[in-house]
A and B are shown apart, each in its own frame.
Chain A
Amino acid sequence: MSTTFLTPTVSSTTMRPQPAANVAQPAVEGLDPAYIQIKDFSFSYGHSKVLHNLNLDIPERQVTAFIGPSGCGKSTLLRNLNRMNDLVDGVHHEGDILVAGHSIYDPLIEVIALRKRIGMVFQKSNPFPKSIYENVVYSLRVAGRNRKAELDEVVERSLRGAALWNEVKDRLHESAFGLSGGQMQRLCIARAIANRPEILLMDEPCSALDPIATAKVEELIHELKKEFTIVIVTHNMQQAARVSDRTAFFYLGKLIEYAQTDRIFQNPANSQTEAYVSGRFG
C-alpha cells in the first residue's frame, strides 16, 4: 500500500470541520477515490443472508458513514472490513472486498497483519484491565515492539491524537477503569491508532456517550481523517451529517443509496432514504 497515508497532509483547508453547511467535498486530489472496494459482497450467518450483493467504493482519507435502521447489516459490513466476523461460527461470504487493490480474503494475507493495518473502535468501550499506558501500547506489544523510548513516544502521540493526553498524562500507569465513559472511548481510539493503521473502523462509537463526550469524539474524527480513512457506523443521523463526507444508507441488507453526505440528507434520490433521514421510519 502507498506510504503517503502514513504522512499527514499539509493542505488542511479542505479538512477543516464545517458543521454548519456540509458542502460537497470531492475526493481529495492524489488520494484514491476507491480505496476500499466492496464488490458484489454477500454475507450470511448460517442460513440467513444478511448482506445482499453490496457494491460500494470508499474513498481514501475521508469519513464514510453507514446509516440505516437496526438490523440492516451496516455493522456486519463494517466488521467484515477487518474480518472480525471470521470469529463467528457458521458464516460465509460471496464476492470480495479489496483494500488498496488487494483482496482481504486472499489466502496469502495473514488476518492478523490485516487487522494491524485496520484499526477498530467498538460501540461499547472495551479497555483492557491494564494501565492506561499498557492499553495504548497493546498493539505494539503483541507485535513484539517493546522498546521503552518507542512506546513512550507512541503513548504520547496516540493520546494526543485521541485528545486525551492532557487529561491522563499524570496517571498513565493507573488502571484504565478509573476513566470516565467518554475518556474510556477516547482511550480505545488512542489504542486503535497507536499502531498507525491506514483505516479506522468505528462501530457506533458514541452510542453510549453523553452529548459532551460525543462532541469531543466527533471533533476528534475531523482531526483523524487527515491521517486515516474512517468508516463509521452510526444510528444518529445528525452525527452522520456532522462528521461524514459520504454516507451509505442500508436497508434490510441492501445498499439503498450511497452519495455525498449533503446529498443524502438534503436531496436523496431514493424515497426510502428520504423517509429514513427525515425520521418517518427506522
Chain B
Amino acid sequence: MHKNDFLSSDIKPSGEGMVWITSMGLAVGLTMIVFLLGMIVYNGLEVFWPKSVVRLELKEGSTAGLRNAPAFAGEIVKTQTKAVQSLGADGGSLLRQREYQLFVGNKDVYGFGYKFIDNAEIVGESRPSEIVVAERLEYGNAIFIPKQFTLADGSVVGADDPAFTATFDRQVEEGNERRAEIRRIERDQIGAINRQLDAIRLGRRAIENKGGELSVSDRQELSDFDATVATLQAEYEILAAKARGLRELQGANKIVYTTVDGAERTLSSGDLIDYYYPNRLSFFDKVGVFVHRFWGFLSTEPREANTEGGIFPAIFGTFVMTLLMSVAVTPFGVLAAIYLREYARQGPFVRAVRVAVNNLAGVPSIVFGVFGLGFFVYFVGGNIDRLFYSLSLPTPTFGTGGVLWASLTLALMTVPVVIVATEEALAAVSRGSREGSLACGASKWQTIQRIVLPASLPGILTGLILAMARGAGEVAPLMLVGVVKLAPTLPLDGIYPFFHLERKFMHLGFHIYDLGFQSPDSEAAKPMVFATTFLLILLVVCLNLGAIMIRNHLRKKYKTSTF
C-alpha cells in the first residue's frame, strides 16, 4: 500500500470542535465576572485614595466657573468628550469638545458638590500646595485655602505662622475627642438613665393596671419610684449641663478660610473631623490617608443621610443577620432533609414534597418578605407583645420588624437550598457504610448520627454557603421585616441582655439601594455605592471562605473511601 493511500482523508486528525465552544462559554462567564468584580473593586477603593486638587484659571470674562470668579478648584473626577454643534459659518458641523467633571466641595457655598467645565474655558491650571481638603460634620468636604485660626482666648494663628499646622492638628484632635465625650455622655450615660426611667414608667403602669384600691406595698413602691425619678432627673441635669458645656467649647475656636474662588467662610473647629493638604502628599502619605479613610469608612457611623461617614452599623447588621439566619436555617433544613431522605417511605407523596421544596426556591423573595411581615411580625411578634410586653403597648417590641424576624424570614427563604444540598449529601453516603453500621447492631438514628451525618457534613456546608451568599445579598424582603435606613443602636452591644433581637438594623444591601436611589445627592452618593458594594462582596467572600475552610477540614477528616 502506498503511503498516500494510508493517509486517506478518513483517518486524518479532525480535531475536537466542542472544546472551543465549551471554552468560549467559560471565557464569556469569566470575563463578565472579572470585569464586574474589577469595576467594583477599583471604584470601591478609589474613593478613599486622596486625589490632588487642581486650581483652574478661566479665560477672561468667562462665567462658566463658580460665582463668576476667574478661578476655582476641585478634584478632577472624570474627563469626557462631548459633541457640540458649532455655530460657525460651516453650517453647524459637530465639534468634539473635552470637558471635566470636578468635585468642588464646599456645598455650603455653592449648593452643589460637583461641576462640569469645558476645556475651552480653561486657560491655566496649577496645584497650589496650600490648598486643604477638610472633612467636616456638615455639607461634605470643604476645599479651601486656610487663612487663620481664631482661638477662644482671642489669639490668632495665621496660615503663614510656623505653628499653624500644629494648631490645625491639635484643633482637629481636640474636637474629635470632645465629640466622642459628648457622645459617651449623651448615648451611654443619659441612655442608661432613660432606660431606668422607662423601667419605672412600666413598673408604675403595672401597678396602675391592677386597678381597685392600692395595697400598702404598692403605695410604698410608687413613692419609691417618685424618689428614684427625682434622683435620676438630678443626675440627668448634671450630665446634660456637662454636654452643653462641651458643645459650647466645640464652637469656641474657629478657622477662617477662603475658597479658591474667593468666598470667605468661618468654621467651628469642633465641626472638623479630618484634613489634609492634597497637593503636598507624597505617595506614602497618600497611602496613609487612604488607609485612614478606609478604616474610618469601616468603623464609623454614617452621617448626612448616609452620604458621608462610614458604614459600620450596616456591616455589623449584615453580619449578625447572616449568622442568625445560618443558625436558624441549618438545623431546620438538615432535619427536614434527614426525614425526607432517611425515614420517609419513598413514593409519590415524598416526590411531590421534593418538587414543592424545589419550587419554593424559585418563589420571588419579596413574597417571603410579605409572609415574614404577616406571620412573624404581626402574628408571632404581636402575640409575644401581648403576652410578655403588654405594658409597653401600644409601642411594639417584637410586633415590628427586627433582626430576629428578618433572619427567620431569610432562613425560610433559603431553607430549600439547604434541604436540597443536604439530601444530595445524604444520598451520596455509600450504602456500604450504612449497612456496615446496621450490621454492627446500630439503630437507624445511631447510623445517621455517627456515620451518615459526619460523612455528609461537607455537602451540608456547601448548602449553607449557598444559603448565606443568597441571604447576605438579599434586600427586598428585608425592607418589610426590619431593615432601616439608619439604626441608632446595634443588635448586639454591651447593654444587658446583649442580644437585642427585636431591634431594627442596617444592612449593606439595603444601604446600597438607599444610597443609590433614595439619596438627595446622587453624585455624592455614587462613590459610597461602590465602596459599600465592594464591602458587601468582601463580607460575603469572608463568610464563604470561613465556611469553605471548615468544609475542607471536615472533608479531610471524614473523607470516604471505597477501597
Give me the interface of A with B, judged by CB distance under 8 Å: 82, 84, 87, 89, 112-113, 115-116, 119-120, 122, 124-129, 138-139, 141-143, 177, 181, 184, 188, 191-192, 195, 208
Contact = CB atoms under 8 A, between A and B. Distances in A.
Given A122-B435, A208-B563, A113 B558 contact: no
Given A89-B345, A128-B433, A177 B561 contact: yes
A115 B438 contact: yes
Contacts, number: 80
B441 interface: yes
Contacts of A89: 345-346
A139 B440 contact: yes
B562 to A, nearest CB: 7
B314 interface: no
A129 B441 contact: no
Contacts of A87: 434-435, 438
Given A124-B562, A129-B454, A138 B437 contact: yes
B495 interface: no
Contacts of B454: 129
B96 to A, nearest CB: 69
A120 B561 CA distance: 20
B432 interface: yes
Contact of B440 (A142, A177, A181): A142
14 contacts: A82-B439, A84-B439, A87-B434, A120-B435, A124-B562, A129-B451, A129-B454, A129-B558, A129-B561, A138-B437, A138-B440, A142-B437, A142-B443, A142-B446
B450 interface: yes
B5 to A, nearest CB: 48
A188 B562 CA distance: 13
Nearest to B347: A89
B435 A195 contact: no
Contacts of A191: 436, 440
Interface in B391-441: 430, 432-441
B559 A177 contact: yes
A175 to B, nearest CB: 8
A125 B563 contact: yes
A116 B441 contact: yes
Interface string B519-563: 000000000000000000000000000000000000001111111
B481 interface: no
Contacts of B558: 129
B435 A139 contact: no
Contact of A128 (B451, B557, B563): B451
Given A122-B432, A128-B433, A113 B441 contact: yes
B442 interface: yes
Contacts of A119: 439-440
A43 to B, nearest CB: 17
B455 interface: yes
A128 B436 contact: yes
A271 B346 CA distance: 44
Nearest to B429: A129
Contacts of B450: 128, 138, 141-142
B436 A139 contact: no
A125 B432 CA distance: 8
Contact of A142 (B433, B442, B559, B562): B442
B559 A192 contact: no
5 nearest A-B residue pairs (beta carbon):
A116-B441, A126-B432, A139-B440, A120-B439, A142-B442
A138 B436 CA distance: 10
A40 B208 CA distance: 83
A128 B442 CA distance: 13
Given A177-B559, A177-B561, A181-B563, A112 B443 contact: yes
A184 B446 CA distance: 22
Nearest to B441: A116
A127 to B, nearest CB: 8
A87 B432 CA distance: 13
Contact of B441 (A125, A128, A143, A208): A143
A195 B45 CA distance: 64
Contacts of B438: 84, 87, 115
Given A89-B345, A177-B561, A208-B563, A122 B441 contact: no
A138 B442 contact: yes
Contacts of B432: 122, 124, 126
A126 B440 CA distance: 12
B374 to A, nearest CB: 40
